[in-house]
Structure 1
């Protein structure tokens, strides 16, 4: 599922399917989700979550009752204490707003602020596993590989993940915004070397992770030092990648450890990459990519 619900809302509106937006309007005390959280409900589907449990079940039921019995209803606010009556022990209280899904509601619905901007180099097994996890997280991702055949054709991507197929992949480092995150996990060590060197020479990365062992790290560090890259910059590169203590070399296990590491980063959210580029630069960059991964 997409990290935001705008795509789902657009599909429902395009198909003429009635829906309800459930929004967490206010909270007090301990609650499962924060104010501003939303989900979508139709007669047959419920997409997203306001925290699960009995609260969400009641909210879905209320939304479907409004759909069935009050066509064109005005916004409705309902207050729910999260205690014994709902079988939840959070101890807080939530006020939910129920809005009929229409074009005006969808346009006024803010998109979630990206947690990070990531350039992910490599469309192999680990790269694919990471992308599957990031599909449900609000972030901006450029998934980059020189091999068109490695991108899965049967797995549609949400709007916040862009496939980029180019011959000189290290050149994409130049178009990332300051403070970006980078994951380097290609199929060749020499390509990893070139990409990571370009990132290190920029120096303004929020996170740089390279797949590999401690031996690979030591070998690469030595070569980079010979090429004049400062030791303090090299020390900021993470290799091996992933939260320490998670054992296993299966792609899915590595992906979980790596995404958890990205989510641990403490820094201000970055602007989407497209907004950081001048219009002419953006246009020429897209042309230079060709159509291999359109």
Structure 2
């Protein structure tokens, strides 16, 4: 089932797509009702019959992706010599109805640091429809992520051992939300630098005190980032007014902030008191 494999792969990549299903066939047509294909912005998998029919449906699916449509739609396409499309005629003599369903990939939240706050944050996010990538340079820390498998919820939580986590960050899908909270301030700085070199991330947050952020701003400037770029990083993180220092309290504050960022990705992330 090529279309099903494509759905899984695109979801892993964080790419939106449209699932096209033939829902009714009258007369002669290349495929029977139930045939499916998957269309992304730059690819297509499986087939609903080829020719002008498939080209027309592929074009419609890509327009839906380009326009950011979220509601499914049904289309009916006649297949006779009198029906002309921009791709010509298809003269099977029948008619097909198709259902086009846009599928938005789950928003990606990449948490760098599987320490106390990182694990609590993953727990807090497990009730949201997000893909949580929990990354740590320490293999032993990532082992603790397995305990989260028992959580029931719509989130997909995965742990990753990455000795050089900035490489993992560079490979994240566009629009990913990054939260940096590792065990090492030097590693935090490397990740901040890598995040600022990507202009397509959804939001960036760094755990830490105001004093830590003063030092980081100075070092990021020395690495060539201007003030406008550095301002993309929210530090401290979490909701304003939440002053608790316990890992669970910080995690809940950051999770609430992320829930807003995921819902309205163009809104600037709120700053709050997350400490580390």
Quickly name the TM-score band, shorter chain normalised: 0.5 to 0.7
1:267 to 265, 268, 275: 265
Alignment of 1:41-56 (within 5 A): none
Residue 244 of structure 2 is matched in structure 1 by 248
The corresponding residue for 1:73 is none
Superposition deviation, residue 114 in structure 1: 5.5
Number of residue pairs matched by the alignment: 160
Distance 1:111 1:166, change over 3 A: farther
Aligned to 2:15: none
Q: 3-state SS of the aligned residue for 2:147?
A: coil
Give 1:54-69 correspondences, 5 Å limit.
none
Task: Note the C-alpha offset of 1:203.
Answer: 2.5
Q: Which residue of 2 aligns with 1:23?
A: none
- Distance between the aligned counterparts of 1:249 and 1:176, measured in 2? 29
2:121 to 126, 130, 136: 130
Counterpart of 1:174 (choices 157, 166, 170) is 170
> Which aligned segments of 4 or more residues in structure 1 are displaced greater than 6 angstroms?
none
Residue number in structure 1 paired with 2:136 = 145
Find the residue that maps to 1:204 and give its secondary structure.
coil
SS in 2 for 1:202: coil
Contact 1:114/1:138 (8 A) holds in 2: no
Structure 1 SS opposite 2:212: helix
Question: Which residue of structure 2 lines up, in the alignment, with residue 205 of structure 1?
Answer: 201
Measure how far apart 1:115 and its partner are: 5.9
What SS does the aligned partner of 1:154 have? Answer: helix
8 Å CA contact 1:112, 1:138 repeated in 2? no
Q: CA deviation at 1:160?
A: 1.3
Taking a change above 3 Å as real, the CA distance of residues 257 and 111 of structure 1, as seen in their structure-2 partners, is farther
> Which position in structure 2 is the counterpart of 1:230?
226
Task: Pick closer, same or farther for the CA change 1:183–1:111 going to 2, 3 Å.
Answer: farther
Instruction: Give the alignment partner of residue 147 of structure 2, picking from 127, 137, 154.
Output: 154
CA deviation digits over 1:243-268, x for unaligned, max 9? 00011000000001101111122138
Length-normalised TM-score, structure 1: 0.51
Distance in 2 of aligned mates of 1:197 and 1:111 = 35
Aligned mates of 1:255, 1:166 — CA distance in 2: 22
Q: Are 1:113 and 1:139, in contact at CA under 8 Å, matched by a contact in 2?
A: no
Q: 1:257 to 1:146 in 2, by over 3 A?
A: same
- Alignment partner of 1:119 out of 105, 110, 115: 110
CA distance in 2, matches of 1:111, 1:136: 23
Moved more, 160-169 or 238-247: 160-169
- Which sections of structure 1, spanning at least 5 residues, go unmatched? 1-109, 269-294
3-state SS of the aligned residue for 2:148? coil
> What TM-score do the two structures reach when normalised by structure 2?
0.54
| Deviates most, 153-162 or 189-198 | 153-162
Task: State the Cα distance separating 1:204 from its structure 2 match.
Answer: 2.1
